[in-house]
Every structure is written in structure tokens, then in C-alpha cells.
């Protein structure tokens, strides 16, 4: 861990430690690497010291290690002149309350974990380094590129693109005689009916906070809206499209209740975070909507899951995956070891180096031409992604923090029956265009 802020200030000049200590640390970690083959500019400095690189992340702790420790060890083995001092800082408010005051004081870590919202806020405030001249920028997926920028300037390296879609409990499907996961809407309806006839709860959409309901509507739209018009988000913001285009997605969502597969009102009483995972891993339902980051927890509970695109497509067509841009790395503008920080980001930009992180997250690679890890649980989802059948949620425009909350609240009202489909779509037009 890096030292306290006052100690970091005292150590910033030179920011070095004896190379012998850095080498000893590598040996204690059991790191293997061809240090002798490292380029000359990666060797220890003439005075026998190594550069200290401080890094903050809200992933990499005990609850979500994400293989960050192993990747940092591999980086140090490849770059023995750089000593990575990583500190886990809990996510959300805790992270912001820790990092923002340090950014204001000009004394935060050299590399900090960010997301699209933080790129917008901290980039605009001048806290982040312009990374536009980095070689990896040209390889970022076109759909991901807007998320790493604020007002056109690149402030972050994307680490992952991660899915929010449908889980299936294969053991429960097998009990109901469903031998293959559904890939189209007619197949999904048949599977839901089969498991219901077998006395199994077909589907769980716990939505006490509104997250799952809104995520499900978005997952359906990935196929029913964005396959036909991948530029819908930009057109909506320009006033050239409206949420009336989402009608068939909303109708499909509501038909789940009409056909008796779920009680949407009752789902509003179930918390998606404190109850949803436990209910699914205890065999509570055959299908469940959540993020791919929970695959490890589901498997650890003894459930054999398949994580797949919501099967929204008509018969004979293919369904698309629903994704959002996850964590990123940014360099702080006040860092005095920016060369080392850029070397760190370049290491992560190599899919071979970042692979263990993607595997732990069950995420896909955000770079063109990079392979994404695939497991039996994620094979269908990764196949859709690699075939180009996906949509990335626009969390840097109308689906930012405020927009996501609006979609959640309006979808809760729809699930309660307080809004008709027409009123729901009209309210999304009015409210989301205003925040986009």
C-alpha cells in the first residue's frame, strides 16, 4: 500500500527505492519473468534505485481480487525499475470521498481507477492526464472510444466491457426437460412455460432499487432497437429518434406478466443486491437478470450457469448482447512519474497481460482484434460479442448516473401499473433527453 498523503508528499522527489529491495519483493511474491531480457530502459537507474508508482483501485481487494495483484507482479517482473504500490479503496462514495480531495490537493496516486462518469467529471476539472498520443488509443473499440474521452480528449484506458444480461440455471432447465438454452423469444417463452409446468419459478427480476427492471428493458432493446439502428442513441440526443422505437421491447417485457411467468409488482419488493444473488444460487428461479461479474459467485454456490444475451429475437433471427463499459485506468495530472504510469497503462493495453483480469471479471476485451476469455458459462455471450451482435449502454450520455436513475424510476412505475406504455415512453423522451 502507498503511505499516507503527508508521507507521499515527502517522498515524491525522486520517488525511488533501492533496486535490491524491489528485486527481493519479487522473489517473495514468487514472480517469474525473464528480467534479463528486459529492455535497457527498464533497468534500475544508475544510482541503484527504482521508481515508485502508486495505484488506487476499487477492484483488487479481498472481496473482488480480479487478479490485479498477479498482473502487478507480472508488470514488475517485466519492468524491474518500477515498484508498483497498489492500494485497494472501496468503491462508490468511499472511493470518491478518498480520491477527490487528494486530486484537489494535487497529491493523489499516480494511476487511479476510473469509470465513464469519473472520466467526465475529473477530466473536465483538469485532474487527469491527456492520453491522446498513446499508441493503444487507435485500437479501442469504436463503441467504447467515446467513454474514454471528455470533450474529445482521451483521459482513460478502458480495462473491460462487461455484460448485463440473462442467467440460466442449467440444472433446473434439465429438470424441466429443457436441454438447450433459448436463443429467440419463441424458444424463451417455451422454456419459461416448461419450467413453470415443472413447478419451478421461471424468472426472477428483483427490482426494489429499479436496477433489474431497467436493465431488462435495455437488454431487450439491445436486440429489438439497436440491431436495426445502432446509431439510435446519437439520433435520440439529436432529436431524430424517440422512445416510441422501444415499444416492442417494452411490450415484450410486459408480456412476461401477461403470460403469467412473473409478477412484476411483487419483484419490486425484492432487493436486487441483498437478496437477488442468494435467491438464484439457492435454486429460486430458472432464469435471472444480473451482471456477468456474479458468475464466479454463482459457480461457487454450486450452480451451473449459462450467461447469455436476453433471447429477444424473433424466430430465425439472432439476439444481441447488452454491455456497459466498466473500469478504466487514468493517470493523474499532478503525477511526477508519468513515464512509469504510461508504461503501466501500455502493459494493461496488451490483451495477453490483461487476460487474467478479464477472466476474473467474466468481461470482454475493449480493444479491436483482442481475444476475449470464454468459458462454458459465457460461451454464448462471448460468441454474440465477437460476431458484433452487441450494444454498449450509453453511460456517458442519456444513460449516465442521472439518466439511469430516471429509467429505473420510470420502469418501476411501469411495473406497478402506474404508467401506461404510452406514458412510459413519453416520459422517457422528456426526461432523458434533458439529461443527455
Q: What is the pLDDT of residues 187-246, one digit of tens each?
A: 999 999 999 999 999 999 999 999 999 999 999 999 999 999 999 999 999 999 999 999
State how beta strands 328-331 and 111-114 pair. antiparallel
Place of cell 429509467: 407
- Is 113 part of any domain? yes
Total Cβ atoms within 10 A of residue 135: 8
**Residue range of the domain that includes 272:** 162-325+376-435
Please report, in angstroms and rounded to a whole number, the separation of the first and last CA atoms in the chain.
38
- Is 284 part of any domain? yes
Q: Would you say 170 and 283 are in contact if contact means Cβ atoms under 8 Å apart?
A: no
Residue 190 CB partners (closer than 8 Å, separation 6+) = 182
Distances (CA, A) of 229 to 64, 178, 315: 36, 33, 19
Shared domain check, 155 and 207: no
**Looking at residues 292-302, what average pLDDT do you find?**
96
The mean of the pLDDT values for the chain is: 91
Shared domain check, 221 and 145: no
Residue 339 CB partners (closer than 8 Å, separation 6+) = none
Identify the band that residue 374 occupies on the pLDDT scale cut at 50, 70 and 90.
Answer: very high
Shared domain check, 108 and 227: no
- Residues 355, 356, 360, 363, Cα dihedral to 10°: -10
| Residues linked to residue 169 through DSSP beta bridges, in sequence order | 305
This prediction has a pTM of 0.87
In the chain, the number of structural domains is 2
Question: The domain spanning residue 405 has which CATH number?
Answer: 3.40.190.10
- Is 362 part of any domain? no
pLDDT at 424: 98
Tens of pLDDT, residue by residue over 11-32, are: 333 344 433 333 333 333 333 3
For residue 20, give the nearest of 81, 72, 74 by alpha carbon.
81
Shared domain check, 245 and 385: yes
pLDDT at 23: 38
> Cell triple for residue 266?
411483487
Shared domain check, 343 and 283: no
Total Cβ atoms within 10 A of residue 165: 27
Residue 42 pLDDT > 80: no
Amino acid at each position: 500500500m502507498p503511505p499516507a498523503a503527508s508521507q507521499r508528499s515527502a517522498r515524491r522527489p525522486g520517488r525511488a527505492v533501492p533496486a535490491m529491495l524491489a528485486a527481493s519483493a519479487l522473489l517473495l511474491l514468487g514472480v517469474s519473468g525473464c528480467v534479463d531480457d528486459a529492455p535497457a530502459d527498464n533497468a534500475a537507474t544508475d544510482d541503484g534505485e527504482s521508481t515508485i508508482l502508486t495505484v488506487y483501485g476499487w477492484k483488487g481487494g479481498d472481496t473482488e481480487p480480479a487478479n490485479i495483484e498477479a498482473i502487478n507482479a507480472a508488470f514488475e517482473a517485466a519492468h524491474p525499475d518500477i515498484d508498483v504500490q497498489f492500494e485497494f479503496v472501496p468503491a462508490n462514495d468511499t472511493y470518491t470521498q478518498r480520491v477527490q480531495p487528494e486530486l484537489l490537493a494535487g497529491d493523489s496516486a499516480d494511476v487511479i481507477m476510473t469509470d465513464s462518469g469519473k472520466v467526465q467529471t475529473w477530466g473536465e476539472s483538469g485532474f487527469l492526464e491527456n492520453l491522446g498520443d498513446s499508441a493503444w488509443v487507435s485500437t479501442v473499440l469504436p463503441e467504447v472510444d467515446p467513454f474514454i474521452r471528455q470533450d474529445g480528449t482521451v483521459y482513460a484506458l478502458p480495462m473491460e466491457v462487461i455484460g448485463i444480461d440473462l442467467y440460466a440455471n442449467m440444472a433446473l432447465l434439465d429438470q424441466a426437460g429443457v436441454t438447450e438454452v433459448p436463443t429467440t423469444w419463441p424458444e424463451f417463452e417455451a422454456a419459461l412455460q416448461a419450467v413453470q409446468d415443472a413447478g419451478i419459478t421461471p424468472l426472477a427480476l428483483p427490482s426494489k432499487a429499479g436496477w433489474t427492471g431497467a436493465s431488462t428493458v435495455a437488454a431487450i432493446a439491445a436486440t429489438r432497437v439497436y440491431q436495426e439502428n445502432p446509431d439510435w442513441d446519437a439520433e435520440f440526443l439529436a432529436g431524430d429518434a424517440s422512445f416510441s422505437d422501444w415499444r416492442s421491447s417494452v411490450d415484450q417485457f410486459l408480456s412476461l406478466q401477461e403470460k403469467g411467468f412473473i409478477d412484476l409488482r411483487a419483484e419490486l419488493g425484492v432487493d436486487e443486491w441483498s437478496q437477488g444473488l442468494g435467491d438464484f444460487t439457492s435454486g429460486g428461479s430458472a432464469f435471472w437478470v444480473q451482471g456477468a461479474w456474479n458468475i464466479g459467485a454463482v459457480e461457487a454456490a454450486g450452480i451451473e450457469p449459462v450467461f447469455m444475451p436476453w433471447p429477444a429475437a424473433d424466430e430465425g433471427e439472432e439476439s444481441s448482447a447488452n454491455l456497459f463499459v466498466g473500469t478504466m485506468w487514468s493517470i493523474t495530472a499532478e503525477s511526477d512519474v508519468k513515464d512509469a504510469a504510461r508504461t503501466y497503462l501500455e502493459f494493461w493495453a496488451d490483451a495477453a497481460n490483461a487476460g487474467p483480469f478479464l477472466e476474473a471479471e467474466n468481461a470482454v476485451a475493449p480493444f479491436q482484434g483482442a481475444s476475449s476469455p470464454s468459458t462454458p458459462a459465457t460461451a454464448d455471450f462471448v460468441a454474440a460479442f465477437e460476431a458484433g451482435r452487441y450494444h454498449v449502454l450509453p453511460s456517458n450520455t442519456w444513460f449516465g448516473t442521472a439518466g439511469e436513475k430516471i429509467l429505473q424510476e420510470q420502469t418501476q412505475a411501469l411495473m406497478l401499473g402506474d404508467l401506461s406504455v404510452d406514458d412510459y415512453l413519453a416520459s422517457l423522451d422528456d426526461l432523458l433527453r434533458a439529461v443527455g
